[in-house]
Amino acid sequence: MFKVNYQSRVPVYKQLYESVLRMVSLGVLKPNDKLPTVRALATDLGINPNTVSKAYSMLEHDGYIYSTAGKGSFIAESFSEDTATRLTALRTLKTAVKSSMLSGVTKEDALSAVEDIYNGGDADDRV
Amino acid sequence: MFKVNYQSRVPVYKQLYESVLRMVSLGVLKPNDKLPTVRALATDLGINPNTVSKAYSMLEHDGYIYSTAGKGSFIAESFSEDTATRLTALRTLKTAVKSSMLSGVTKEDALSAVEDIYNGGDADDRV
Amino acid sequence: MFKVNYQSRVPVYKQLYESVLRMVSLGVLKPNDKLPTVRALATDLGINPNTVSKAYSMLEHDGYIYSTAGKGSFIAESFSEDTATRLTALRTLKTAVKSSMLSGVTKEDALSAVEDIYNGGDADDRV
Amino acid sequence: MFKVNYQSRVPVYKQLYESVLRMVSLGVLKPNDKLPTVRALATDLGINPNTVSKAYSMLEHDGYIYSTAGKGSFIAESFSEDTATRLTALRTLKTAVKSSMLSGVTKEDALSAVEDIYNGGDADDRV
DNA sequence: GTGGTCTAGACCACC
DNA sequence: GTGGTCTAGACCACA
């Protein structure tokens, strides 16, 4: 269900964090669904339980899941598929903006690109 | 001229690296413009010269600036000269904007995302 | 395993950088092999950990190795995987050998030049 | 007659050093030919006389030129066009070997490439 | 004075 | 324990 890339520079706990967000945005996980226990997921992935615990703590801190001792961790009620999708989309967008900036795209061009799209312009239009 | 956020989890040298790129993207710095000397910028920002040096070294390694001992550091001519890559970057950005729009991201959020990045915001910050 | 020449004008970190590449070219190191830890190699060579770290950082930046905190540094899989570039490199080398032969370089000199480089000699040394 | 690239990472004095070698190998300068004076060349190129002086000192140290106070600097008698050509060719070869090594060419392949060429193999043969 | 390298020693995030 | 970052301070090559 969850996968981590050990060769990646991205910390494992962060990969787990984002995996949960992705699961919700894809509709695989829904509000009040139960997440695997820390130990189960740790042994399943062959990683340290501390790492899983760290990811869950961050998710709880950010209000995306809630945990109750003895029962487990669950997707927060407020964390619907829609909000998850919008959230991940916004993050992807930021990454795209950043890489375009690093490629020499000026701020004006970037802003007008956004305007263009939201005003009905087609992404495939010649620039 | 350059600013760094010491609270950020993003390394100072990386903030400097991107600041220079941003300056060029904003048109403040142009090819063959002289960058502040390593020591001057270090004392100006209140940081260690090594940290500035690290940023400059990386910029040079990546071909964005050129440095010569005894003279200083300068914006490379080839920087942002390649309009072809800039145009493809812009098209990639437009595609990203469009898909984010389809995922429910509002125009305001998209615009502020652009502002964030060009003002030094980090794409990796949790929303 | 790794050796550095402290007398050389070539920076130690660069010697290390090329040593790793040489090790792979010689077949001593293969993809996913673990490199010595930064601290271990530093004490082994009697140099500062920062210097080793600098070499490793550059190797990672250039995609030859990958490092993860808490685990170590490893030879990248993609390294020397690209036989195409290796073949073109070999053809370029042959052209260079031929033109040097036509310029009066003896076979012995050419062979010892190759030995020099692969044994750590620097191409920039004055002859 | 002499040119220097101020943007290059190669020190100016070294560019001058190699310029003289190239001039001899091209037959432009011959044994006992007079080199421009330090001051003349410095003002001509718009660089510091110390830099020219350094280049000349190295050339003299390596036996390629000789200087006599009050008269100037001259190409050494032993430094014929042939030796200059062979010298520069060997240096070019070393550079080529090094870059091929960095591209993943093994030592064996490099050595057999040399053998191939000197045994009559054509550089354009398929590898 | 300029950038480049290196040391010594510290703290942090990650596993 | 592992790599990553930063500081403080030193020396060198270059112009």
State pLDDT tens for residues D49-76. Answer: 889 999 999 999 888 999 888 888 999 9
Q: Do chains D and C touch (3 or more CB pairs under 8 A)?
A: yes
The nucleotide closest to D15 (CA, C1' atoms)? F14
B98 touches chain A (CB under 8 A): yes
Q: Is the pLDDT of residue C41 over 70?
A: yes
Residues C29 and C64 in one domain: yes
Same domain, D85 and D70: no
Chains A and C, touching by 3 or more CB pairs within 8 angstroms: yes
Do B37 and B57 lie in one domain? The reply is yes
Domain containing residue B62:
12-75
Query: Is residue C114 within 8 Å of D98, Cβ to Cβ?
Result: no
Residues D66 and D20 reside in one and the same domain:
yes
Q: Which of C122, C114, C126 is nearest to C4 (CA)?
A: C122
% of chain A with per-residue pLDDT over 90: 24
Q: Which nucleotides of E are covered by protein (CB under 7 A)?
A: 1-10, 13-15
As to burial, measured by CB atoms within 10 angstroms (0-12 exposed, 13-18 middle, 19+ buried), residue C89 is buried
Nearest residue to E7, CA vs C1'?
C48
In this structure, is residue B123 part of a structural domain?
A: no
Closest nt to B42 (CA→C1')? F7
Phi, psi of A26 (to 5 degrees): -85, -10
Chain A hits for B65, CB-CB cut-off 8 Å, are none
Task: Please list every residue in chain A whose beta carbon sits closer than 8 Å to the beta carbon of residue B19.
Answer: none
Are the beta carbons of A108 and B88 closer than 8 angstroms? no
Reported as a single tens digit per residue, the pLDDT across C77-120 is 876 566 777 888 898 999 999 989 988 899 999 999 998 888 87
C70 and C95 in a common domain: no
Q: Are B119 and B5 in contact (CB under 8 A)?
A: no
Answer yes or no: do C47 and C87 share one domain.
Answer: no
* F strand bases under 7 Å from protein CB: 1-10, 13-15
Judge if B87 and B55 occupy the same domain. Answer: no
CATH code where residue C39 lies: 1.10.10.10
B23 within domain boundaries? yes
Q: With 0-12 CB in 10 A as exposed, 13-18 as middle and 19+ as buried, what is B72? A: middle
User: Is C126 within a domain?
Assistant: no
Structure confidence by residue, pLDDT tens digits, A21-65: 888 988 898 899 999 999 999 998 888 888 999 999 999 988 899
Residue of chain B whose alpha carbon sits nearest to that of C50: B50
For an interface test with C, give the residue of A9, A50, A51, A54 to mutate (most C CBs within 10 A): A9
Q: Is C30 on the interface with D (CB under 8 A)?
A: no
CA end-to-end distance (rounded Å), chain D: 41
For residue B119, give the chain A residue with the closest CA: A107
Residue B56 CB closer than 7 angstroms to strand F? no
Average per-residue pLDDT in chain D? 87
Query: C31 with C67, same domain?
Result: yes
Query: Are the beta carbons of D49 and D42 closer than 8 angstroms?
Result: yes
- D contacts of B67 (beta carbons < 8 Å): 9
How many separate domains does chain D show? 2
Same-domain status, A68 and A93? no
pLDDT recorded at residue D102:
81
Looking at the domain assignment, is residue C48 inside a domain? yes
CB B77 within 8 A of CB B32: yes
Same domain for D71 and D54: yes
Residue D6: predicted pLDDT: 82
**Cα–Cα distance, D106 to D102 (Å, whole number):** 9
Coil, helix or strand at residue A115: helix
Question: What is the number of other CB atoms lying within 10 angstroms of the CB of residue D41?
Answer: 21
Domain for residue A4, yes or no?
no
Residue recorded with tokens 């000026």 = A106
Would you place residue A127 in the very low, low, confident or very high pLDDT band (cuts 50, 70, 90)?
very low
B68/B87 same-domain check = no
Q: What percent of chain C has pLDDT over 90?
A: 49
Q: Are residues C55 and C92 in the same domain?
A: no
What pLDDT shows up at residue B44? 94
In a domain, B6, yes or no: no
Per-chain mean pLDDT for chain B = 88
Q: Give this prediction's pTM.
A: 0.79
Rounded to the nearest angstrom, the minimum Cα separation between C55 and chain B is 13
Residue B61 belongs to a domain: yes
Closest residue in D to B65 (Cα–Cα): D7
Whether the CB-CB separation of A27 and A84 falls below 8 Å is answered with no
Q: Is C70 on the interface with A (CB under 8 A)?
A: no
What's the rounded mean pLDDT across residues B98-116?
Answer: 90
For residue B125, being part of any structural domain is answered with no
B18 touches strand E (CB under 7 A): no
For the beta carbon of residue A2, count every other beta carbon within 10 angstroms: 16
Alpha-carbon span C90 to C119, nearest angstrom: 18
Provide the pLDDT confidence category of residue B127 given band limits of 50, 70 and 90: very low
